[in-house]
Structure 1
Amino acid sequence: MRLATIGTSRITHQFVKAVKQTGRFDFVGAYSRSEEKAKQFSDEFGGNLNFSSLNDLANSNSVDIVYVASPNGLHFQQVVVLLKAGKHVICEKPIFSNVNEFDEAVKIADENKVYLFEAIRNIQTPVFKTLQQELPRAGKLRSAVLQLIQYSSRYDQFLDGKVTNIFSPEFAGGALEDLGVYPLYVAIALFGEPEKVAYYPIKLSSGVDGSGTVVLAYHDFICTVLCSKITYSDAPSEIHGEKGSFRINNSSNIARLEWIDAHDKVLEPVAEHFEADDKIYEIGNFADILEQNDKTEYLKLRNLSRVVLKTMETARKQNGILFPNDKD
């Protein structure tokens, strides 16, 4: 399939490099509001198309699927144009601002017989797959602490008075949307939809959360999710059961899994797989679904995306963190 991109940022560079590594899609071109940037990006990766008009990209007969990595607040508008034109879409996390947008986009995708994916790499890694298989070893689960705390250089700009996209409600920014989505995906992929959600954010003057703690309540255990763009920690994440605990190195780049028995307290390596660009796994999964028309796997991913988005929307609206695309 012939793939084009929206966005020319670092994450788009990483995605196209991973596409090249897998060989599962053929990169053909890029879109940017700046024609010069689109051409520069396309040339860098061997594409022969560049677009400065979204409609031209959507209507191109030389493009089958589009990877969207624009600012969060632009995702819905751009994705809908592409879906209506019959393009498959891979949209970078967080896929949309709210569930209303998600449901409308899914309806349009189904009507046009195309696939809509959310790019979220952590749940596709080999080590995460091992964690899913090994989880029953922990016995009855009682608690989990999943975190992603990464200081952002853009916070320095924020402190100097410049509000960049990631700290702007206009572009659906904030710590929960940008970082919290990773540990939330881990939690919901492993434990399912929580019964209750409570969020305790540190709100910035721009109106979004710079950091925060999400409490996910299940029937007989609690999962705590910590996310921050204004502090830093490299502490691991843990899942605690009555028979023992699992530890993962990081909620976004899941590369190492360890086990600690509740009785002998011995730390045991379970799985380790470091990949320079772990986007190759999600790309492979999306390509398999498209090639095999695997509706079962597609619907599983789609339903997971919806629950994660619903959880984030609930959490931020509890605290008056609102985006322009939100509806009452």
Structure 2
Amino acid sequence: MKYGTIGTSWITDAMIEGANYAGCMRLGAVYSRDLARAAAFGAKHGCSAVFDDLHAMAGYDGIGAVYIASPNKLHYEHCKLFLEQGKHVLCEKPLVVSPEEERALRHMAEERGLVFLEAMMMMHHPERDAIKKALSGIGTITTARLDFSQLSSKYPQLKAGGMPNIFNTQLGAGALMDMGCYCFYPAVEWLGMPTEVYAHAGHVHTGADGWLSCLLVYDQEIHANITLSKTGQGFAGSEILGDEGSVVIDFVVELRGVWLRRKGGEQERIIRDYTRTELMAAEAQDFCDYIAGEKRGEYRHMQRVAKEVCALNHWVKERAGV
């Protein structure tokens, strides 16, 4: 299947590499607002069909799908355009900025028989079921700590008084929108939806949230503490605690460094580490399989979790005043 791309950043390079590794997707078109940039990016990846007109690429018969990696605020507009033109959509996180937008796009895709998927590679991890199995063996879960704190490469520019895109509220950026889903997905996937949410954000001079903490409370008296930061580098990782042991995760974004540690001190590695390319290849392969009508139950599950994560993200956004 041939696909087009929106965006020419490193994440698009990584997605193309993953899709090539999977072998089921081939780059068929490139879009950038700057045609010269689109041409240079296309040449790097062996693609000659380049566009600076988004509507023209959406109507291009040479592709059947699109990978969207534009600024957060533009996701709804771009997804809607390509779904209207009959293209399957794989969109970078966050899928959209509100539950209403998610619902509208999901219904549009369903009506047209199209696949509409958030690009969340941890959900396509080849061994993700092993983590669920390990969680079932740590007894009664009471507490979870999920963290994604990564000092932004644009932080020096921010400190100098600039306004890099990832700290620009007009583009829907900030710690919650850029990073929250990496903790919300495992929270929803492993623990379900909370009944109460408490949240507080810290803001940088642009008005964007640079760091955020929230507490998710569940009916079962489980407490999940989530911390996000673009202004500091975290090293502690994440952990889900039960009365018989804990599951420890060094880097939740890629489910890397995952261990089962029992209360008696024994420990075992649950899954091996996968490269980003391998994870994005698994994501691309699942996307192709969903389009082919395979793994229907899994696709419905992915849509349900995406819907709940979008709702949770909005809930936290309201509580934190972001």
- Matched to 2:229, the amino acid is S
**C-alpha displacement of 1:169:** 1.4
- Matched to 2:313, the amino acid is M
- Matched to 1:255, the amino acid is R
Distance in 1 between the 2:233 and 2:46 partners? Answer: 37
Residue equivalent to 1:10: 10
Deviation beyond 4 Å, 4+ runs, structure 1: none
Residue equivalent to 1:96: 96
Q: Is the 8 A contact 1:127 1:255 kept in 2?
A: no
Distance in 2 between the 1:187 and 1:319 partners? Answer: 18
- Matched to 2:298, the amino acid is E
Which region of structure 1 is more displaced relative to structure 2, 196-205 or 167-176?
A: 196-205
Residue equivalent to 1:132: 132
Q: What secondary structure sits across from 1:82 in the alignment?
A: helix
Change (3 A) 1:133 1:288: farther
Residue equivalent to 2:243: 242
Q: Is the 8 A contact 1:72 1:94 kept in 2?
A: yes
- Matched to 1:193, the amino acid is M
Residue equivalent to 1:44: 44
Distance in 2 between the 1:75 and 1:274 partners? Answer: 28
Residue equivalent to 1:231: 232
Residue equivalent to 2:258: 257
Distance in 2 between the 1:69 and 1:141 partners? Answer: 36
- Answering whether residue 201 of structure 2 is matched by residue 201 of structure 1, we say yes
Distance in 1 between the 2:224 and 2:198 partners? Answer: 11
Residue equivalent to 1:170: 170
- Matched to 2:55, the amino acid is N
Residue equivalent to 2:290: 289
Change (3 A) 1:128 1:249: farther
Distance in 1 between the 2:62 and 2:224 partners? Answer: 46
When the two chains are superposed, the root-mean-square deviation of aligned CA atoms in Å is 1.3
Q: What secondary structure sits across from 1:318 in the alignment?
A: helix
- Number of equivalences: 320
- Matched to 2:286, the amino acid is N
**C-alpha displacement of 1:2:** 0.8
Residue equivalent to 1:187: 187
> TM (normalized to structure 1)?
0.94
Distance in 2 between the 1:290 and 1:76 partners? Answer: 21
Q: What secondary structure sits across from 2:202 in the alignment?
A: strand
Distance in 2 between the 1:103 and 1:271 partners? Answer: 34
**C-alpha displacement of 1:295:** 3.3
Which region of structure 1 is more displaced relative to structure 2, 266-275 or 236-245?
A: 266-275
> TM (normalized to structure 2)?
0.96
Q: What secondary structure sits across from 1:157 in the alignment?
A: helix
Q: What secondary structure sits across from 1:137 in the alignment?
A: coil
Q: Is the 8 A contact 1:182 1:251 kept in 2?
A: yes
Q: Is the 8 A contact 2:134 2:260 kept in 1?
A: no
Distance in 2 between the 1:78 and 1:303 partners? Answer: 21
Distance in 2 between the 1:3 and 1:132 partners? Answer: 33
Change (3 A) 1:96 1:276: closer
Q: What secondary structure sits across from 1:249 in the alignment?
A: strand
Higher RCO (CA 8 Å, separation ≥ 6 residues): 2
Residue equivalent to 1:122: 122
Distance in 2 between the 1:293 and 1:159 partners? Answer: 49
- Answering whether residue 150 of structure 2 is matched by residue 144 of structure 1, we say no
Which runs of no fewer than 5 residues in structure 2 stay unpaired? Answer: none
Distance in 2 between the 1:79 and 1:268 partners? Answer: 42
**C-alpha displacement of 1:121:** 0.8
Distance in 2 between the 1:271 and 1:61 partners? Answer: 41
Q: Is the 8 A contact 1:150 1:233 kept in 2?
A: yes
Q: Is the 8 A contact 1:127 1:257 kept in 2?
A: no
**C-alpha displacement of 1:49:** 0.8
**C-alpha displacement of 1:222:** 0.5
Distance in 2 between the 1:212 and 1:276 partners? Answer: 26
Q: What secondary structure sits across from 2:136 in the alignment?
A: helix
